[in-house]
Each structure stands twice: as structure tokens, then as C-alpha cells.
Structure 1
Amino acid sequence: MPVRSTTPRAGLRRPGDWTTTRWVTAGVLVFLAVLMVLAALGAWSLSYSQSVNNQLINQRSPAQVEAVRLQTALLNQETGIRGYGLSGARAFLAPYQEGVAQQASAERGLRTLTRGDSRSVKDFARVESLAGVWRRTFADPVLSAPAGSTSKVANERAESGRVSFDRLRSALTEQQQHLSAEREDTKSALFQARTLRNVAFTLIVTTIIAMAVLVLAGLRRGVTDPLGRLSGQVRAVAEGDFDRPIAAAGPADLRSLSADVEGMRRRLVDELQATGEARAALHAQTTELRRSNEELEQFAYVASHDLQEPLRKVASFCQLLQRRYASELDDRANQYIEFAVGGANRMQTLINDLLAFSRVGRMHKKWATVDLERVWAAVVDSLGCMIEEKEAEVVHDPLPTVAGDATQLGMLFQNLLGNAVKFHAPDRPPVVGLSVRSAEGLWHFAVADNGIGIDPSFADRIFVIFQRLHSRDAYPGNGIGLALCKKIIEYHGGTITLDPDHTPGARFTFTLPVVEGREITAEAGEPGGQPVGPRSD
């Protein structure tokens, strides 16, 4: 037995699946259809009332008036012709002639006004026929009688004339009664038409008001109330009640919106839960980092005091041993002692450099406006012996004021300038230049020299701590200077790179934000002070 599918056919949707737009469209179409029906009813009632009114004004009432005129005209004729017949005086013919003219005019009007009305046409034809009989049997013989014999003819035809005119009068009375009855019927129809018109327009107004009330009630129940409930639920969630579910109600699109908001709420709950877990993990990491920093501070203290003290003792006692037993030591022993003293001194220098590297971003946390002209001048002055010894030429562009730590920026310039002078070419005196330009809210600096240069393949390696490209015998240093420069620049919100296309020599470019790009603290150290830091490498 085949199974009948219960799935709605394509294109058919249950009212519960209708969207707000579909509900509004259906409501508007129904409202327009009802309005069109009501408009047709109102137009018909107006047209019918106007038709009956026109019939009364333009046909029934004028027809009755013309019937009265016709009766008056025939009475005037009868009076005039009877007076003329009795007296023979032609003065009595004036009313008769006026009545004949008035009769012709009234007959024309009645003929036009009674067209299409069979009973009125029949009454008019009977009146017209009887009037002709009276005129032939009485009026025309009296008028055509010789002078002086009119009374004789009038007397002879008086009885027949009276009978024929009485018939005519009866026909006129019946005609007027029929016309009056038709006029009353038309008046009654007009009253009914006006009543129907008033009822129709009352029905139209009542229906429009009822439809408006139904539309407002439907919008409130189907749209406004669900939106209000959804808004209240969303507001409650926005105020922190994240566990409150969003209930779906109303048309399909509002239910879909509620489902989307509910999905967003669930996702927010999941995200908040994940954020809470991440915050807890971050708090644990922060606690661990604080503990690690405290240990690092302790290590720095140990490195700066406890570790250096044994090194000083080793170097001092080795030198004391060399002076006291100089006569008993050979050249190899003296060389060994020099190796030990040099290693202790290098170890002490390395510890100082590591301390300086670890303190970047930790020991100097207050910012101020730093005049780089003063910082550069202080660095050039501190390296004056080296510059004079190498006969180096140092030039620079006018330097701006930036936001940062003057001590660390001094360490930056000292390492870059010291390296540029130290790694000079043996066949020419060193020339070092510091240039600067402004672009896109940043200061772009460049320190260029004409020294031995750096292979571009080592562009990333040179910024790694303890990475050296030359032996310590060729060029002294610990391989920490450029790593320190990178850390200082990144701490100040900039970047530093090696220009691989610059020849001869090396060219380092770095950026620093403009003064407006940082929040300045006026309590920082004096800008332009003497830089303190590790030696150039």
C-alpha cells in the first residue's frame, strides 16, 4: 500500500512558517481587497442615489408640472371657446389661443419626459386623443361658425362638448394621479437610496476602523509583543544574565532572529567560560612570571655582587702571585697568569653586559621627551678617545625630540656608533653618518659607515645575543651589542634592520614613534644624560 507523504508541497507554506513580510503583505492585500469592495459598494450607492435623485428632479416633478400646465391650457381653451360661443365676442378667443400655445408646449414637454414610461405614455396618448375629440366636436365647429350664429352652434353642441370635455377632464385627473403616484414612488426610492448610501458609508467607515484595529492588534501580537519580549531578553543578557535563554516567538523571521541571538548568547557563554579559564591560566602565569622576575632580580643582585667578587679575587691574587714570585716564574707561567687574569676580566665584563641586557624594559619604565641632539652629543663625547684614535669623521642630521628613556637611547647610539668606528676598513679612515626623516607618524633613522660591512646572509644572526662574526682577537667584544640595540628599539615601539644594499660598509635603519604617539611621564630621568651600558662589540 503506497504511503502518502505528509511533507508540504514546494511553494506551500503553513501560516506558522510565514515571515513578518509575508504576514504584512497578506494583511495589506486583504485590506486592499476589502477596501475595493467597500469602494465599489460606496460608488454604487452614490450612483444609485444620484440616479433616483436625477429621475425625481429631472423627470417626475417636471412631468407633473407639465401635466398641470396641460390641464390649465385645456381649461383655458374650454373657458374661452364657451364664452365666445355664448357671446360671440372675439375677446374671449384670447384665452383660447393662449391655451392652444400652452397646450403645444406642455405636450412637447410631456412627450419628452414620459418617454420610456409605458403608463405615462398611455395616459398622455388618451389625453391627447380626448382633447382632439373635444376640439373636433365642439371647439372647431364653434370657431368655424359664421358671425352671429356662434351661439346657435354652441347651444346645439353644448351637451356633446360637455360630455367630451368631462371625459378629457377625467383623463387629465387620472394622468396627474398616475404622475403623482410615480413621483411619490420615486421620492420613496430616493429616501431608500439615501438610506442605503448612509448605511454603505457607515459600513465602510466601520469596516475601515475594524480593519485598522485588527491590523494594529495583529502587529502588536505578531510583531511588537515578540520584539518587546526579545528586546527584554536581550537586554537581560546584555546586563549580565548570560544564563537566561532566548525564547523564540512570533513570525518565522523573528523566530529565526531569536534563534540567531540564542546561538550568539550560547557562543558568548562559551567564550566567557573559555575567557575565564584563560584568565585563570593567565593569572597563574602572571604569578609564575612575577616569581620568575623576583628570582631574576635576585640573580641580577648575585651576578652584580657575589659572582663578581670571586672573579676580582682570582684576578687580584693571580696578579699578586705574579708580582711576588716574578723571579721564580718563567715566561710560560707568566703567560698562564695573564690568561687567567684576562679571562676573569672578560667574565666580569660579560656579567655587566648581561645585566644591562636584562634591565632593558625592566629597570627604566618611565618615559619622557628625549632630545636626541643632546643624547648623540653625549655619546660622541664618551667615545671621543676612540674617534680621535681612529681619526673617524662623524656627521649627523638635525635630530628630533622623541618619547622614551634617555639612558637606553644613549646605549643604542653608543653601540651603533662604537661598532661603526670599531669595524672600520684598514685602508681608509672611518666615516659615520646619522640621518633621519619623518614619514607615516614615525621617525626613520639610519646609521651608515664605510667600514668592512656585513654579509647580508647574516642580517638576522647579528641581532641574536652572543652571535659574533669575527674572532675576539680580531675585534674585542661579547656579541651582545646589536641584540641590546634590537631590544631597546622594540621596547620603544620601533624596528631595526640591516640595509643589505648599502656599500661600502654597513647601514642600520631603525624607527621610533613621534612624541605624540606615546604617553609621556615627566618624572623620567634627565633627557640627554650620560649613557650607561655595555661596550660596543
Structure 2
Amino acid sequence: MTLVVALGSWAGWASLADTTRASDRLQQRISPAATAVVELGAALVDQETSVRGYLLTRDAQFLAPYRDGLATERRVLADLHGLLSAEPGLPAMLDRVESGAAVWRARYAEPLIAAPDPQSPLVVPGKAAFDVLRADVAALQQRVDAARSDGRRALEDARQRRDTIFTAIVAGLLVGLLAIALLLQWAVLRPLERLQGAVRRVADGDFDHRVPAAGPRDLAELGADVEAMRGRIVAALADSRAQQELLRRSNSDLEQFAYVASHDLQEPLRKIASFCQMLQRRYSPQLDDRAQQYIAFAVDGATRMQALINDLLAFSRVGRVYDSVAEVDLNATLRRVRSDLAVRLEDAGAEVECPRLPVIQGDSTLLAMLWQNLISNAVKFRKPDAAPRIAIGAAPDSPASAISPASAEGPGADNQNGATAQDGADGQDVAEWRFWVQDNGIGIEPQFEDKVFVIFQRLHPRDVYPGTGIGLAICKRIVEHHGGRIWLDADYTAGARICFTLPARQAGRQGASSDSGIGHLR
């Protein structure tokens, strides 16, 4: 393509230069010379006419055209010498006219002006000499006209050659572009299509299909890099399959461990507790207070050990036993949880406030466990002199809907904010939802924010607040299993507020369910 452009540029420049030369010769030399020759002939005729008029009238004013014609002759001759110097044959004819004019003036015109006599013998030969001079001027004019005609033909020929050359240049460029397109198709596009097809086969799961490294150097290097990447993917896949097999075996062992924990380990504990209680009932009169205390310690330890094993078993089942993914209406889930906790909520005089909740993707059993643990904690860790007030809220997790401490001064405020955010998000694409459960209980100190989500970590003695300290750990595992995060809102000081996020259901289908809300329970 570079060669085509170079040759085309040179040919175009040469044709333009040829056309320019022909045009300049015609317009700047030949045509002005033709006009000057006509002006020269007129100047000589003016001189001859002026001399004859002066001879007849002897009036000096008739000599004015003679002098003007002489001046015009000299000027035109100077111009013609410059215009016709490069034309073959024309400078000699111009010199002949110039010398003839000089001889005519010197031999006839000037003597007749000096001695004006109409009967002078110089009149007849002077007229003959001037006729010869006029013939020379006519011959010069004829040659200049012929040169102008030749110049016009040369210019037209140059223009035709220019058009032909530019047509050839355009045709050459088109042919070059076609050749380049064919070369690109053969040398680049076809190898690229083969590379694309191979990459798609690998992307579709055929990881054993090799990626070709053919074509131009850059494309070949790209193919080699993709092939190296495929090799690493195959190696990583093999390693992942090996890890999956190990994980499968580990899960099988974990299933066996769960079975042992739920049956074999609990059976000795039940036996210890039962026989200790039988010992206490049968030999109670023979036992002193210390022995009674020891037996109570043994029974309590066995009972707590059973509770720990059951909680550990429930913790291990998160994401393993319960791992289905479906659309879950949190309103229905929360109604079911409230029903299960109805007696406990009524005994505590608890009030639960909640807006409409969205439909999300997840496991309904795990999400029910999540709400149950959070609401149970809010009831358990209440202030002795105040009935529990529990507020549940939800909003799209975005900067505009983030929970601000200033807007969350109480359960009612959160309820209002959650409902507004829910209503405003209907029909929009929501990536995830932010939820919160807050109460007016004893609260959690900010320095224990990380500790409360660790399994079996307690902040209070067992005789004050019962339990094993696994509730929030299970909540954390459930939320993280669903791809969310959970944290303690340290800015809320009127109790405890636990916040967490859950992914929304598929894009374009988010929003609250058609349930009209849960209402209040006292």
C-alpha cells in the first residue's frame, strides 16, 4: 500500500506539474504575446499614418501619434522579447520586425519628417518598405496565433493525461485496498476466528481443547498466552476437583460427627444426668448439703453440655443441611417466627413494629432461624423495668438509604424510614437490602462488637441471662452464607441495633410483597 501511494503521488505530481506548465505557457506567455503583437502592429500603423498626415498638412500635431506609436513600439518590443524568448523561431522573427521598423524610420520616416515634401522621391519606396514591415508583423502574428493554438492543444492533452492518471491512481488505491482486505482476511481474520472459536469452546467447558497459536506474530503471541491461561485453568480445575473431593469426604466425616454428637455423645450425658438425679432422690436423706450441691453441679454440667452439643450441631448445619435457594417472602417468614415466639412475646409484654419486607433469594429455614435469634435476643436482654419494644426495618442498601443515627431515634422512626425506602424501591433494580433489628434493652458496649458474633462468647453470667452464647454467631453464619454482612450499630445508644444485608432477588423483580404488612403484636 505504501508503494501504491508513493507511485500514485509521484504520477499525480508529475501530471499536475505538466498541466501547470502548459497552462502557464499559454496564459502567461503566448496569449499576452499575441495581444502584444497586435498592439505592435497598431503602433507601427499609427507611425506610418502620422507621417503621411504630416506630409499632407505640414501640421505638427499630426506627429503626436508618431511619437506615441514609437513609445508603444519600444514598450511592446521589450515585453515581447521577454515573452517569446523561450519559443523556437519567434525571437528571430521579432528581431526582423524590430530591425525592419528601425530601417524604415531611419531611411524614410525621419527624412520625410525633417523635410516634409509630399512629392519627395522617398514616399514611394518608404511605402513599399512599410508594406514589407507590415507583412513581417502579420507573419509574426500568424506564428504567435499558431503557437497559442498549439498551447491550447497541449493544455487539453495535459488535462486529459492528468484525469487519466488520477483515475488510475483511484483504481490503484481501490485494488490495493481490496488486496489488503484479502490479505487481512487470509492472514489475520481467519486465524482470529480460529482463535475465537477455540476460546469459546474452552469457555463453554471444553477445557481440554487446545488454543492454536497461529497467524501474525501478535496474534500468535495472544494465542500462546490464552493457551497458557487455559493450561493454568485446567491445572486449577484439577486442583479444585481434588479439593472438592476432599471437601466431600470432609462433609461426610462432618455428617458422621453430627450423628455422633446428636446420638452417641448425648447418650452418656443423659445417663449421667439421670443417674445423678436418681442418686439425689434415693439417697437425699443420707446426703449433706455439700453432696447435694455436688450432684446439682453434675446435673447442671451435663445439661449444659447437652445444650452446647445441640447448639454446635445447629451451627454446623447452617449452609450444609439447609442450603436451598428460592424466593423467600420475609413477611411470611416473620409471621411464622412471631407465631412460634407468641407465648414468649406475650409473657414479656413485647411490642414488635415492622414495615413491609421485600422478597429475596435465600433459604427459608435459615432466614427463619435468623429472625428468631434476633427477636429472642431482643426479648432476653431487656431492661427489668421496661417492656421490650422491638423495631424491624428494611431499605435498599445504597448511600441514599443508609441508616443515619440522626434519623433513628426510636423504633417508630426506623419503621417509618424502612417503609418509605421500601415503597420507593418498588420496581427498581436493587442489588441488596439492608435490614436492622433494634430494641430498648440493655444494649451492647461498642468494644464488644466483634466478640458478640463469636461462637460461645458470653458477655453476662449464666445465672443472669441464660444461654450458650451462640445466637449471634449463628446469625452471622446465616447472613454470610447468603452473601451478606452483619454488624452492630455502635451509634445507637437507646438499646441494641443489629444491622445486616441480604442480596435481593433477580434484577427487575425486587420490591415488597403484596402483603399489607405485619402490624403490631402486644
Is the shorter-chain TM-score for this pair beyond 0.5, marking a shared fold? yes
Task: Work out whether 1:48 is the aligned partner of 2:25.
Answer: yes
Scaled by the length of structure 1, the TM-score of the pair is 0.63
Structure 2 distance, partners of 1:420, 1:122, is 132
Q: Residue 479 of structure 2 aligns with which residue?
A: 489
Post-superposition offset of 1:173: 4.9
Q: Residue 147 of structure 1 aligns with which residue?
A: none
In structure 2, relative to structure 1, the CA distance for the partners of 1:168 and 1:344 (3 Å cut) is: same
Q: Which amino acid aligns with 2:474?
A: L
- CA RMSD, aligned part only? 5.1
Equivalent residue for 1:431, pick from 388, 401, 413: 388
SS in 2 for 1:197: helix
Structure 2 distance, partners of 1:166, 1:140, is 10
Post-superposition offset of 1:267: 3.5
For 1:219-258, list aligned pairs within 5 A: 225=183, 229-240=187-198, 242-245=211-214, 247-248=216-217, 258=218
Q: Residue 354 of structure 1 aligns with which residue?
A: 312
Between 164-173 and 344-353, report the one with greater CA deviation.
164-173
Size of the alignment, in residue pairs?
A: 442
Tell me if structure 2 keeps the 8 A contact 1:315–1:340. yes
Post-superposition offset of 1:445: 0.9
Q: Residue 379 of structure 2 aligns with which residue?
A: 421
Question: 1:150-180, CA deviations, whole angstroms, 9 ceiling, x for partnerless residues?
Answer: xxxxxxxxxx97xx67645643553344234
Post-superposition offset of 1:366: 3.3
Structure 2 distance, partners of 1:67, 1:499, is 117
Structure 2 distance, partners of 1:106, 1:31, is 58
Structure 1 distance, partners of 2:337, 2:33, is 119
Tell me if structure 2 keeps the 8 A contact 1:52–1:186. no
In structure 2, relative to structure 1, the CA distance for the partners of 1:56 and 1:480 (3 Å cut) is: closer
Structure 1 distance, partners of 2:116, 2:346, is 165
SS in 2 for 1:348: helix
Task: Work out whether 1:446 is the aligned partner of 2:437.
Answer: yes
Q: Residue 464 of structure 1 aligns with which residue?
A: 454
For 1:362-401, list aligned pairs within 5 A: 362=320, 363-372=322-331, 375-387=333-345, 391-401=348-358
Post-superposition offset of 1:282: 0.9
Structure 1 distance, partners of 2:127, 2:345, is 152
Structure 2 distance, partners of 1:466, 1:312, is 22
SS in 2 for 1:242: coil
Tell me if structure 1 keeps the 8 A contact 2:436–2:500. yes
In structure 2, relative to structure 1, the CA distance for the partners of 1:38 and 1:346 (3 Å cut) is: same
SS in 2 for 1:46: helix
In structure 2, relative to structure 1, the CA distance for the partners of 1:66 and 1:356 (3 Å cut) is: same
Tell me if structure 2 keeps the 8 A contact 1:486–1:496. yes
Tell me if structure 2 keeps the 8 A contact 1:449–1:507. no
Question: 1:429-448, CA deviations, whole angstroms, 9 ceiling, x for partnerless residues?
Answer: 45332242525252331322
SS in 1 for 2:439: strand
Tell me if structure 1 keeps the 8 A contact 2:378–2:390. no
Scaled by the length of structure 2, the TM-score of the pair is 0.65
Q: Which amino acid aligns with 2:329?
A: V
In structure 2, relative to structure 1, the CA distance for the partners of 1:187 and 1:431 (3 Å cut) is: same
SS in 2 for 1:466: coil
Post-superposition offset of 1:285: 1.1
Structure 1 distance, partners of 2:471, 2:298, is 25
Structure 1: runs of 5+ lacking an equivalent: 1-19, 78-95, 142-159, 249-257, 521-526, 529-537
Structure 2: runs of 5+ lacking an equivalent: 78-93, 199-209, 399-431, 511-516
SS in 2 for 1:445: strand
Q: Residue 249 of structure 2 aligns with which residue?
A: 291
SS in 2 for 1:421: helix
* Percent of paired sites with the same residue: 34
SS in 2 for 1:449: coil
Larger radius of gyration: 1
Post-superposition offset of 1:110: 9.3
Question: 1:40-74, CA deviations, whole angstroms, 9 ceiling, x for partnerless residues?
Answer: 55334223223564367435467679989999999
Q: Which amino acid aligns with 1:446?
A: V
Structure 1 distance, partners of 2:71, 2:494, is 128
For 1:266-305, list aligned pairs within 5 A: 266-305=224-263
Tell me if structure 1 keeps the 8 A contact 2:441–2:496. yes
